[in-house]
Each structure stands twice: as C-alpha cells, then as structure tokens.
C-alpha cells in the first residue's frame, strides 16, 4: 500500500529531535512548515503526558516523542487512511511504544478519555471556516484545512482533558489572533506565550504560535518575531537552527 507511486518517504530534521522518517501522500493531506514550527515551539517537561488531536500522519507526535524521550504522547486521528500512515510512521521510527494512537473524532474524545489526563495539548487545527476560501477536491485535505467537522471551539473544548495549569499550544493564522485569544479565554485558557511568524523581514505575519495555560492569571510574553526567509530567499539563521541545517 505505502510503496506505490502515491506516497513519498521523507526525512525531516528538527533541533532537539534529530531525524524523523515520514511516509505521506504525494498529494492531499501533507504536513507543512506550520507543524514543524509548532513542534519546535512546544516546551515539555520530563514525563509530561501530551495529547495531539488531529495528528494526520503523525509528524508532530513523532517529533515530540523524539525531542522529549521521557514523555508519552496520545495521537488522535479521525481518518482511517491517515491513521494507518501514522501507525506505520510510529513503527518505522521505533516510537510505537511511546505514542498511543486513537482513531476517533475529537468531538467525542471526552467520552473516551477521563479528565484530567494531560499536561500538554498541541494542535494544528483547521485554519479555514467551512465553505469559505478555496475547497480542495481532496477529502483528506478538506478535513485537515476546513472546520466542517470540528470548529475551533471543539478543539479548545478539549481543555477539559488538561490538568490544572496544563498548557495548550497552537499554530493559527496571524489574522485570526484576536479571535483565537478571545476563544482561549472563554475556555479558561490564558494566553501566556505568543510568537508571530513572518515570511520575511518587513513582511506581515502570516502565522501565530500561542501557548495558553489552563486557569492561569493574566500575563503574556510576546516573543521576538520568527523570520523565515532572508532577502535572497534562503532561510534565516534561526530557521537553519530549527531545521538543524548547516
């Protein structure tokens, strides 16, 4: 199934995690830089229990398992084909003992898992409201990028699975930062660490990375902006560090 011309076999390098091998479709639901930046942004303590809803082929769960070898990750994926790829990637990287895969809709997850269980939730939720923007012909990509099945509120409602003072890390479009922060607070998640991602110096931010803490007091650290590209189109020195490039 996975050796056909429909799949690629990629090696991804991230600081602190080393190299991860990933099998994913050539077209459709493929991971992007968003997931890699989120995995780098997420800070875990030894033995933290981490939940990743909407895991796809497992790139974030794989990177976090390698980066934090004493943590245990629960990855949740709705689509059977994506879940099977995630399972294969876990085995190929020797991480099937460190990652638990649940094939389930996140909307019903609270009925399966008894709270509070987790120290961290890390999520790359769908960016686009259903029936707005361009709709991909790929069902898998529709589910990954549009919130037809689970709007943002459904993702944030998962905070019930967090321990008190647990952390919720997300990546989201920068233009929806105000909306995201409002919804985080409605769900008892106080934004504590924020970083905007810019494609180049002097260009508007297109992503925001946020860490919110459950039932925390007010106080926000706004980190220096993350710039992706130099003026010549190459990666900045920090991006090279993130990707462990020379």
Supply φ then ψ for residue 151, to 5 degrees: -65, 170
pLDDT band at 121 (very low <50, low <70, confident <90, very high): very high
The DSSP-derived string for 119-148 is: EEEEE----B-TTSSPPPS-HHHHHHHB-S
Do residues 225 and 197 touch, judged by C-beta distance below 8 A? Answer: yes
Domains of the chain listed by start with CATH number = 7-242 (3.40.50.150)
pLDDT in tens, 185-242: 999 999 999 999 999 999 999 999 999 999 999 999 999 999 999 999 999 999 999 9
SS3 category, 49: strand
Could you tell me whether strands 49-53 and 72-77 are parallel, antiparallel, or unpaired per DSSP bridges? parallel
- The β-bridge partners of 83 are none
pLDDT band at 2 (very low <50, low <70, confident <90, very high): low
pLDDT, position 5: 80
Q: Enter the pTM of the model.
A: 0.90
Give the separation between CA 91 and CA 99, rounded to whole angstroms.
10
pLDDT, position 112: 87
Residue 141 has pLDDT above 80, yes or no: no
Do residues 82 and 56 touch, judged by C-beta distance below 8 A? Answer: yes
The winner for highest mean pLDDT among 3-12, 53-62, 121-130 is 53-62
Beta strands in 90-206 (DSSP E): 99-103, 118-123, 162-173, 189-200
């Amino acid at each position: 199934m996975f050796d056909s011309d429909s799949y690629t076999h990629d090696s991804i390098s991230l600081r602190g995690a080393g190299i991860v091998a990933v099998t994913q479709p050539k077209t459709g639901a493929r991971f992007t830089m968003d997931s890699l930046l989120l995995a780098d942004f997420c800070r875990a303590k030894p033995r933290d229990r981490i939940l990743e809803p909407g895991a796809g082929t497992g790139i974030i769960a794989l990177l976090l398992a390698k980066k934090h070898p004493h943590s245990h990750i629960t990855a949740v994926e709705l689509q059977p084909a994506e879940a099977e790829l995630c399972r294969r990637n876990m085995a190929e990287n020797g991480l099937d003992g460190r990652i638990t895969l649940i094939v389930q809709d996140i909307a019903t997850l609270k009925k399966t898992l008894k709270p509070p269980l987790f120290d961290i939730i890390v999520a790359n939720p769908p960016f686009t409201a259903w029936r707005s923007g361009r709709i991909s012909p790929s069902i898998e990509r529709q589910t990954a990028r549009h919130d037809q099945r689970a709007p943002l509120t459904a993702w944030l409602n998962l905070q019930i699975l967090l321990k008190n003072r647990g952390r919720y890390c997300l990546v989201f479009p920068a233009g929806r930062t105000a909306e995201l922060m409002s919804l985080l607070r409605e769900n008892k998640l106080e934004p504590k660490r924020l970083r905007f991602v810019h494609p180049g110096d002097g260009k508007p931010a297109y992503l925001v990375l946020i860490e919110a803490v459950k039932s925390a007091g007010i106080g926000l650290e706004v980190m220096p902006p993350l710039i992706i590209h130099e003026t010549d189109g190459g990666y900045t020195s920090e991006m090279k560090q993130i990707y462990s490039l020379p």
